Structure 1
Amino acid sequence: MTSRTRTVRSPRILYLAFFFPPSRSSGVYRARATAEHLAAAGWDVTVHTAPREFFTRYIGSVDPSLEQGVDERIKVRRPGMGYFRWERDIRRYGRFRANMPILANAGYNWTQRHFFPEHYASWIPHVIARALREHAHKRFDLVLATGNPFASFAAAYWFRKLTGVPYVLDYRDAWTFNQFTEEHKYPDGHPAWAWERRTLERSALTVFVNEGLRGWHAERYPAAAAQMDVVPNGWEPEILGRAAYPGPASGRPLRFGYLGTITEAMPLRVLFDAWRIARAHPELADATLELYGHLGFFKQSADPLLDQIPLREDLGVTYHGPLAKTDVGRAYHSLDALVFCVPGARYVTSGKVFEYMATGKPIVSVHSPDIAAVDVLTGHPLWFGVDRLDAQTVANSMVAAGKAARDLAEPDFAAALAHAERYTRENTLAPFEARLRALAGR
């Protein structure tokens, strides 16, 4: 009697993630973590991302260290795109644009109105053409598209129309809604509204980073509400490591720190005014404020932001510049308390808060008291929140956090780590992966 062993094919997913390493966009961490989690769970993962030269030449926003250690099983493809919106060197213009710039601009604007209303629209046909070739060779079971940009959503929509392969949408940010100002980005009748409705209503599943964004979209698009869910961000123990109890910070100056990209949208004036007030307190008289990270997402942002940091005042403020992802854990270890400074209101979570919690150290909030990140921080035993965003209130929290660092007890540290453990990437992505597997018919 003979038996035959049937080989079970791994589920195959096409992941449309425009921002992927070496990009250092804020959304790249969720994209990389998602791709790696799927590969580790046995998926055959193909990522479509932007051409490398878009990050290096056109926006100057790269972190080569983010490519190090990416799971070798992940196949990264870089379909082409046009650079009309970003090209400033007239020597690189095509003949048509160089000789008839007004007509070229008119043609570009027409495609924005009638094809897809986003500057990344030229990526869509390149993605679809390459995906169709790959699909013909070996079938995709599912498409996952993350935005922004939302050209990835349109590409997923068109690929489904052509092949029947279902797709899932991941809103890292809002498309038609400004979560920082809580205003609509587009006037009524703008084609972006129709495209958002079209892609949402045909999605097999749509996920958001917090409940506030899910609720806003469910209310505006009720026909798609049943397929909406929340997948929060998280942190990676394999990158940060798991923190060890550092003991009380006694007998030396306290070290406060901020890690993350510094942007114009952050309440920097409140942060530094609060620090000036806090330094007048005996507990923080010799404390330092260490800043790590890029200055903005684009190279032209750096100088104006650097001017806002009071480096020339005798305040103990130091800007160390950007860190490689592999050095982040050591920077956190060197600090006694963390300053969670972020812009926005009730629809903003931020990915950095999860790393901050994973240090087990005191966290000072420098943000609006009703942002979505508060939902994540609630219950953290070493969180020092604010009931209003002003310098005196934040300074009071800084002083309280400094005292907590001086008296840090191991049970409080352990409770902080237990709170953070709920938000490891494994814990936040495992239920999502199970739903994707069901949608892929696996």
Structure 2
Amino acid sequence: MLYLAFYFPPSRASGVYRARATANHFAGRGWDVTVCAAPLSFLHDVLGSVDTGLAATVDPRIRVERPALNQFVWEKDLRRYGRFRRNLPRTAQKLYHLGQRVGFPEHYASWGLAAVGRGLRLHRRRRFDAVLATGNPFASFAAAWLFGRLTGVPYVLDYRDSWTLDLFTNGPAFPQGHPAWRWERRVLQRSAGAVFVNEALREWHAGRYPGVADRMMVVPNGWDPDLTPAAEPSPTDRTRPLRFSYLGTVTRVQPIEELVAGFRLARAHGELADAQLRIHGHLGFFQSSPNDLLGRLGLAGADGSDGGVRYCGPVSKTEVAGVYEDSDVLVFLAGGSKYVTSGKIFEYMTTGRPIVSVHAPGIAAEEILADYPLWFKPRSLEPADVAQAMLLAAKAARGLDPGQRAAARRHADRYARDLVLAPLQERLRSLAGPRFAPHPADRGADPSGDPGREAAR
């Protein structure tokens, strides 16, 4: 399999965990997997951060290729400009944007083209049986389409994000006539399948592209047993202050102010007067992001803490189990609308801890959380409603018993990554041809209770 996944370890982008798990799952089911990923210079010099611990968890049988990327739009150091750009900067800018209009409308287009070239060279040595592309960036979709046109190898598109649908407004991401619409229709029409992380997204795309609807399926996100050990959580220590924890990247689209206001209102109640809200993770995806986000958290001070709110810094994916062990209540902070699931909730559920939602009502994640017995959902994002949900979660944390934890874990177990990825692996195996028998791990599997298989139907 040729796997086109720009964000792959050591990247720390939000979609990297699905990509890592997908590649590992296929390798574990007998596939020879080659990944085309982002160049390391982009991860280090442009994004400015990596997770080396996560890179160590990639199956050693996986081959990782890193095609080149034209970093024109990200290059800010004049000393690194080429001669043409140094002497004719405006002309260089115009030519770059012309290429975006007449070619593929994304800054990652050069990487997609380079990935096709790299894939063709590898294909000549040993033929690929199937291609899987994950977006964003969606240059991976265009690369899969072009590779398929040149070789006849079937390809499947994994929409871990939406391309032409704005998840935060529920409206179009591009104006009418933008080339992205034409490109999406083109790549979908020739695809052997398209995968979405929730039913709402599948339904929206099926309505827009009805000719491809019968090739669409849902493969939800899940949790990774190798990164999130399924240990029984220890009881809450009643002698210390309660700890509310958010673990994940903080972004500008999340209701940060509502979270902080709700928590501070909850602390006005005696039982939470000394409670702590701990923020674990990166602040944004770029080097310039932290200052603004610290201000929105009300943490302008150098020590990263104020009024019970504390920023604890980044955490490697390989160290998250310790954060959960040290938490009493988990905060699910999310932006977006009814199409947003977020991969974080699956990991949260494995802890058997109470979860408080802080997001707009009606997002797709609520479908996953609905049967989780320790979920506390405020009626709105008003601080008083958020505070009330936190109070109820705190009460549950103080009184948790083994039966409640076991029920919570049973719900989480349905979303173990190998279970939810099984239908996708079987779909690509069927595309590769009848000579490829099912892997022994998939023979006789019982699909009952498997949300990925149910969605695939």
The TM tier, using the shorter chain, reads: over 0.9
> Aligned partner of 1:323: which letter?
V
Q: Bigger shift: 382-391 or 308-317?
A: 308-317
Which runs of 5 or more structure 2 residues have no equivalent in the other structure?
437-457
Cα deviations by residue, 1:277-304 (Å, 9 ceiling, x for unpaired): 1001122111111110000011100111
Q: Which residue of 1 aligns with 2:80?
A: 92
- Give the Å deviation of 1:81: 1.6
- Give the Å deviation of 1:69: 2.3
Q: Which residue of 2 aligns with 1:180?
A: 168
- Give the Å deviation of 1:248: 4.5
- Give the Å deviation of 1:252: 2.3
Matched, 1:275 2:267: no
* CA distance 1:80–1:245, shift in 2 (3 Å): closer
Checking the alignment, whether the CA contact within 8 Å between 1:90 and 1:98 is kept in structure 2 is yes
Q: Which residue of 1 aligns with 2:410?
A: 418
Q: Which residue of 2 aligns with 1:236?
A: 224
Q: Which residue of 2 aligns with 1:79?
A: 67
- Give the Å deviation of 1:245: 3.9
- Give the Å deviation of 1:186: 1.0
- In 1, Cα distance between the equivalents of 2:45 and 2:53? 18
- 2:317 equivalent among 309, 325, 328: 325
Helix, strand or coil at the partner of 1:335: coil
- Give the Å deviation of 1:238: 1.4
Q: Which residue of 1 aligns with 2:353?
A: 361
- In 2, Cα distance between the equivalents of 1:245 and 1:257? 15
> Aligned partner of 2:91: which letter?
L
- In 1, Cα distance between the equivalents of 2:47 and 2:274? 39
Checking the alignment, whether the CA contact within 8 Å between 1:243 and 1:360 is kept in structure 2 is no
Q: Which residue of 2 aligns with 1:217?
A: 205
- In 2, Cα distance between the equivalents of 1:283 and 1:417? 27
Q: Which residue of 2 aligns with 1:168?
A: 156
* CA distance 1:126–1:403, shift in 2 (3 Å): same
Matched, 1:38 2:59: no
Helix, strand or coil at the partner of 1:307: helix
Q: Which residue of 2 aligns with 1:391?
A: 383
Q: Bigger shift: 250-259 or 193-202?
A: 250-259
Checking the alignment, whether the CA contact within 8 Å between 1:144 and 1:169 is kept in structure 2 is yes
- 1:302 equivalent among 254, 265, 290: 290
Helix, strand or coil at the partner of 1:43: coil
- 1:427 equivalent among 413, 419, 423: 419
Matched, 1:153 2:141: yes
Checking the alignment, whether the CA contact within 8 Å between 2:233 and 2:351 is kept in structure 1 is no
Q: Which residue of 2 aligns with 1:7?
A: none
Cα deviations by residue, 1:239-286 (Å, 9 ceiling, x for unpaired): 110031422442321111100001111101110010111001122111
- Give the Å deviation of 1:324: 1.2
- 2:42 equivalent among 41, 54, 61: 54
Cα deviations by residue, 1:124-171 (Å, 9 ceiling, x for unpaired): 221111111100000000000000000000000000110000000000
- Give the Å deviation of 1:61: 3.2
Q: Which residue of 2 aligns with 1:341?
A: 333
Q: Which residue of 2 aligns with 1:64?
A: 52
Q: Bigger shift: 100-109 or 39-48?
A: 100-109
- In 2, Cα distance between the equivalents of 1:58 and 1:407? 47
> Aligned partner of 1:127: which letter?
A
Q: Which residue of 1 aligns with 2:278?
A: 290
Helix, strand or coil at the partner of 1:184: coil
- In 2, Cα distance between the equivalents of 1:106 and 1:298? 26
Checking the alignment, whether the CA contact within 8 Å between 1:266 and 1:341 is kept in structure 2 is yes
Cα deviations by residue, 1:284-335 (Å, 9 ceiling, x for unpaired): 1111111100000111001111122234685221111001111100110100
Matched, 1:439 2:427: no
The count of corresponding residues between Structure 1 and Structure 2 is: 430
Q: Which residue of 2 aligns with 1:352?
A: 344
- In 2, Cα distance between the equivalents of 1:428 and 1:388? 31
- In 1, Cα distance between the equivalents of 2:230 and 2:113? 43
- In 2, Cα distance between the equivalents of 1:387 and 1:192? 37
Q: Which residue of 1 aligns with 2:367?
A: 375
Helix, strand or coil at the partner of 1:348: coil
- Give the Å deviation of 1:387: 2.5
- Matched-pair identity in %: 57
> Aligned partner of 2:339: which letter?
Y
- In 1, Cα distance between the equivalents of 2:315 and 2:46? 22
- In 2, Cα distance between the equivalents of 1:125 and 1:154? 8
- In 1, Cα distance between the equivalents of 2:306 and 2:314? 23
Which runs of 5 or more structure 1 residues have no equivalent in the other structure?
1-12
- 2:182 equivalent among 194, 198, 218: 194
Checking the alignment, whether the CA contact within 8 Å between 1:197 and 1:221 is kept in structure 2 is yes
> Aligned partner of 2:140: which letter?
S
Checking the alignment, whether the CA contact within 8 Å between 1:279 and 1:315 is kept in structure 2 is no
Helix, strand or coil at the partner of 1:364: strand
Q: Which residue of 2 aligns with 1:263?
A: 251
